[in-house]
Structure 1
Amino acid sequence: MPLLANAVVDLFIKGGPIMYPIALVSLVAVCIFVERVFWWIRFAAKRSPKQLEEVYVTLESGDLAKAISQSAKSSDPVVRMIHHGLQHRHTSMQGALEVASGQELRDAGRFLSAMDTIVTLAPLLGLLGTVTGIMGSFTSIGSSELAVEKVTGGIGEALIATAAGLGIAIGTLVPMNYFHSRLTALKFDLEAAANNVLILAAQHGFDKVTPKA
């Protein structure tokens, strides 16, 4: 383990000064990844398809008060959205459902734009390291008898910085796409639940808003 740590430190130093912003970007990416993983784990624990189905059955039977009571203290984001819509049925149920849905999607999509920025920024930083490394190599040509070592050192700096930038981008892209897929699935669940509630509400006259065609 100490040998591995020494090798990493050695590569970091040989990568040149551009490795410091690359390391910062890497740290941010790791923090975002960990935070999102734990968020989605907690989110999965909150989902309750059984409770959602019970609310549907209650609404279908026409018992609005019971449906509101069933959804009042739910931790399921879809059921919470339904509860918010039922509470605002006399003003705009559809609008209330959209607002609650937007809040849930905003929380689920948190930091995705930051991850997208990291995917773009990390390779650019690696490319910048490539340019500075090659520039250092060319400026060393013919300057002294140690020019060969300086040239190879500059090329090594360029390759290390490029590899580090690409590694960070690839390591961020995969989880980012996974989180995007989870966000898309949540959006579908929220839209489906909102449409079901609007249909059931229209059937029983709970609100003044008819569902979209």
Structure 2
Amino acid sequence: MDVLFNVVGIVVYVALALLALWGAFCAVIVWRRVGQVRFSDEEEQEEFLTELDGTLGQGNYAEAVALCEEDRRALPQLALFSIENREIGIGKLQRRLWERFQQDVLSDIEHRLSWVATVVKSAPMVGLFGTVLGMMGAFRSIATSEGGADPTTMAGNIMLALITTACGLAIAVPLLIVTNSIVVRIRKMEDLVGLGIGRLIETLKLAFGRSR
């Protein structure tokens, strides 16, 4: 039975290590993904829109397409989509832009972020399982010993109980902080993209009006 407890204890440690690695990996991927698809601030986005305004104002759609193709961030790609699909009309185009932003950008980020949230919830539970396992081992050593429980065995079981709980919390708390930071970055990105889409639609209205 002691061997079984030791094996399960090792499994708990391995599970916690894997959760920590997976949670950190997903958090880094999401953080980088958000950084890749957003402008760092409103001024940088304004510079891009001003340059796009100039090319569209001259009716130079080829140059506008080239400008957007070079930039893989969300708003330039949405601008590229709107230029390539300008025949569908401004009303439909505005709805499609938000749909594309939701499907191509936010859905991928939220999917990966959900894995981080899963690790945040799972790590303390795995740690709690190790705690229960350690306490079971400690009580078993008390119940089965005739001349008194072996202090070394009890200390090992209690150590397992405490370490797994601490590890679970040590994984969950930093990832929770990182998750909240990522959510703040996502909300800022949504606000910037919302402002950018509004400005883009106005630019497209003027450009399409001149081309008719």
Q: Could you say whether these structures have the same fold, taking a TM-score greater than 0.5 normalized by the shorter chain as the test? A: yes
Q: Which residue of the other structure, out of 13, 18, 31, is the alignment partner of 2:12?
A: 18
CA distance in structure 1 between the aligned counterparts of 2:36 and 2:75, rounded to whole angstroms: 15
C-alpha distance 46-104 of structure 1, shift in aligned 2 (>3 A)? farther
Query: Does 1:147 pair with 2:149?
Result: yes
Q: In the TM superposition, what whole-angstrom CA distance separates every residue of 1:45-76 from its partner, at most 9, and x where no partner exists? A: 999532232113444x4736254453343333
Q: 2:17 and 2:192 mapped to 1: Cα distance?
A: 38
> Superposed, which structure 2 residues align to 1:84-103 within 5 Å?
84-91=81-88, 92-102=92-102, 103=104
Identity %: 25
Q: Answer 1 or 2: which has greater helix percent.
A: 2
- SS, match of residue 84 in structure 1: helix
Residue in 2 aligned with 1:179?
A: 182
Contact 2:68–2:79, Cα closer than 8 Å, also in 1: yes
Cα-Cα RMSD? 3.1
Cα deviation digits, residues 103-139 of structure 1 (max 9, x gap): 1223444510000000000011111111111111111
Moved more, 33-42 or 190-199: 33-42
Structure 1 stretch 46-55 or stretch 113-122: which is displaced more? 46-55
Identify the residue that residue 35 of structure 1 maps to in structure 2.
29
Check whether the contact 1:86–1:93 (CA below 8 A) recurs between aligned residues.
no
Q: How many residues end up aligned between the 2 structures?
A: 194
Per the TM alignment, residue 88 of structure 1 is displaced from its structure 2 partner at its CA by 1.4
Q: Secondary structure at the match of 2:96?
A: helix
Distance 1:188 1:44, change over 3 A: closer
Q: 2-side partners of 1:146 and 1:81: how far apart?
A: 73
Give the structure-2-normalised TM-score: 0.76
* CA distance in 2: counterparts of 1:104 and 1:114, whole angstroms: 16
TM-score (norm 1): 0.75
Change in 2 beyond 3 A, CA 1:68/1:39: closer
C-alpha distance in 2 between matches for 1:35 and 1:74: 20
Higher relative contact order (CA 8 A, sep 6+): 2
Aligned pairs for 1:2-13 within 5 A: none
Structure-2 separation of matches of 1:154 and 1:72: 60
